[in-house]
Amino acid sequence: MRGSKGAHGPWRSGRKALVSSRFASAAARLSGRGESETRRSEGARMADMVRTRIAPSPTGDPHVGTAYVALFNYAWARKNGGQFILRIEDTDRERSNPASERMIFEALHWLGLSWDEGPDVGGPFGPYRQSERSEIYREHAERLVATGSAYPCFCTKERLEALREEQRRAKVAHALGYDGHCRAVPPAEGQRRRAAGEPHVIRLAMPREGETVVSDLLRGELRFDNTLVDDQVLIKSDGYPTYHLANVVDDHLMGITHVIRAEEWISSLPKHAMLYRAFGWDLPVFCHLPLLRNTDKSKISKRKNPVSLNYYRRAGYLPEALLNFLALQGWAIAEDREEFTLDEFIATFELSKVTLGGPVFDLEKLTWMNGKYIRKLTVPQLLDRLRGDLLSDEYLLKVLTLAHERIERLEEFVEYASFFFVGELEYDAEARGKLVAKKCTPEQTALALERLLEESLDQLLEWEPARIEETMRAYCEATGWKTSDLFMPVRVAVTGKAATPPLFETMAVLGKEICRRRLRRAAETLRAMKAEGNPGAHGGEDEKP
């Protein structure tokens, strides 16, 4: 995935031809006229045009992996004088959420990664939100059905589940996936049943023999046995496209030249390649970046590592430090150097030199690097940073609103509101006592706090008092907890105190990231209490002899 400017290294011979023709067609689309009409000088410039994109799905908190992939896409586009596009992949109607989309915009802006085209800034290839492009996908899917590259499938969910179950049990591991049942339905009959309104999806008809070979900029030729790739759903029964269809159609229509994405997509590469082929389109350059990892090498996840960009922002990581650190995951600017600015990154970045080993996200090193960046600031600059987030008027106003009627001298404010400004909390003896829910063991309380977090609060994206309250009450309802029994441990967990402003307002002001961190920490504290003989607990059944 590179402009001709940087087209050395892995780009030689055969592949080069593919790439340049790809650029030419992208250029034609970009200029909005045929390539032949393009003026020569402009044509030369356009032929070099690199277009990359980040295509997050707005289904949760803004993810550090999104920032990682966005950074590399951004740098590659900038380095080649091309464009970087933000596209929202919200084709999952259940999970997509406007709050999440907003947070993604904010987080990327915070990092300083700006896009040339996107839902918020517009652009010549919009709309940039897939939910607003349904008609485009439908048309394209029909085109495939018409040519026999896709077909309607009427299989019920039940049948698919049964099929999956049977395959699992029979251990026909090589034939996992859809069995192509509806491929046998004659087109005319399929047409009739669709017209009659029978629920169905549209599936891609994968070739039943041969192999699909796709080249990856970093990994060379990737080969897949077609018989092992099942018929992927292209259009869901709700009429929305799946990622696979929308992604391919949009990348083509938006003139994306380099698809730089995470490694987890490699296994769907053959499906994507088949789609391009079925449409008669040239393939973009594919480049699969390694996945960020937890300490145990598994794909980075919120259970084992902070992954929300909101966490890093709230914890006081500087965006430039985070970016610098992220750039180091898979790439090195020089043998003995690792601190550099975004501009330096852009200037020196070479996609082909990205390393492939899955980098363990080392929070400790990030933190060290952040310290370096803090020390590089002048004191007034540091002040500005603090005033930008943690000590912004906006935040102070919120805290002050809650402290207002609860202090009698101004100097009390700092102590009263200290938990709004620190990161980790220390739970003193009194707090530890109140951390344990009535009639419960520390262990039980810990479990309840964790479940409240993971099963309820984590899913909540609109972090507002009313929504928090609603969520917590619903949790109590579902689990049989008395709200009064559970809310005190939560209060102590997130504030370290038993006497605080109203819980939900307090949690809202603290923010989700802080609450999440403290709830976790509280659970750990509770577990440790059990280990050390349960000092602060009151009234736990099983501590009585």
How far apart are alpha carbons 35 and 24 in whole angstroms?
A: 7
Residues 519, 524, 529: CA angle, nearest 5 degrees: 125
Give the 3-state secondary structure of residue 277. Answer: helix
Of 12 and 337, which has the nearer Cβ to RNA? 337
- The CB-of-360 to RNA minimum distance in angstroms stands at 3
Greatest alpha-carbon span in the chain: 90
Phi–psi pair at 476, nearest 5 degrees:
-60, -45
CA nearest 250: which of 268, 230, 276, 285?
276
How far apart are alpha carbons 100 and 36 in whole angstroms?
A: 43
Strand 51-54, strand 83-86: pairing: parallel
C-alpha distance from residue 290 to each of 298, 329, 338 (Å) = 12, 9, 19
How far apart are alpha carbons 526 and 518 in whole angstroms?
A: 12
* CB atoms closer than 10 angstroms to residue 334: 8
How far apart are alpha carbons 86 and 126 in whole angstroms?
A: 11
End-to-end, the C-alpha distance of the chain in Å comes to: 69
Q: What is the DSSP string of 483-534?
A: HHHHHHHHHHHHHS-SS-S-HHHHHHHH-HHHHHHHHHHHHHHHHHHHHTT-
- The CB-of-9 to RNA minimum distance in angstroms stands at 7
* 302 assigned to active site: yes
How distant is the alpha carbon of residue 39 from its chain centre?
Answer: 40
- The CB-of-477 to RNA minimum distance in angstroms stands at 26
Residues 31, 34, 38: CA angle, nearest 5 degrees: 60
Q: What is the DSSP string of 109-152?
A: HHHT---SBBTTTB-TT---BGGG-HHHHHHHHHHHHHTTSEEE
Of 47 and 222, which has the nearer Cβ to RNA? 222
Of 233 and 472, which has the nearer Cβ to RNA? 233
How far apart are alpha carbons 356 and 425 in whole angstroms?
A: 38
Give start and end residues of each alpha helix (H) in 330-441: 342-348, 363-376, 379-388, 393-403, 412-416, 429-435
Of 72 and 504, which has the nearer Cβ to RNA? 72
- The CB-of-228 to RNA minimum distance in angstroms stands at 5
How far apart are alpha carbons 368 and 63 in whole angstroms?
A: 21
- The CB-of-41 to RNA minimum distance in angstroms stands at 32
- The CB-of-324 to RNA minimum distance in angstroms stands at 11
Of 52 and 247, which has the nearer Cβ to RNA? 247
Of 381 and 392, which has the nearer Cβ to RNA? 381
Catalytic residue among 236, 302, 372, 497: 302
- The CB-of-467 to RNA minimum distance in angstroms stands at 23
Of 247 and 445, which has the nearer Cβ to RNA? 247
Of 171 and 544, which has the nearer Cβ to RNA? 171
Reported as half-sphere exposure (CB side, CA atoms, 13 A), residue 135 has a value of 3
- The CB-of-284 to RNA minimum distance in angstroms stands at 17
Residue 220 DSSP code: E
Give the 3-state secondary structure of residue 213. Answer: strand
How far apart are alpha carbons 149 and 269 in whole angstroms?
A: 17
- The CB-of-295 to RNA minimum distance in angstroms stands at 7
Of 242 and 525, which has the nearer Cβ to RNA? 242
Among all residues, which ones are annotated catalytic? Answer: 302
